Amino acid sequence: MQISLFGNNMFSRCLDTCTEVGYAYAGMVNGAECYCDNRKPSRKRKLEESSCNVTCSGGGGEGKCGGPLAVSVYQTGMKPVLERETKNDTTGLKY
pLDDT for residue 26:
92
pTM of the model: 0.74
Give per-residue pLDDT as tens, 34-82: 999 998 888 888 899 899 999 888 877 777 889 998 999 999 998 876 5
Long-range own/partner contacts, residues 44-52 (CB < 8 A, 24 or more apart): none
Q: Which of 20, 21, 18 is nearest to 73 (CA)?
A: 18
Q: Give the pLDDT band of residue 7 (cuts 50, 70, 90).
A: low
Q: Give the pLDDT band of residue 85 (cuts 50, 70, 90).
A: very low
pLDDT for residue 20:
92
> Please, which residues have CB within 8 angstroms of residue 4's CB and are 6 or more apart in sequence?
34
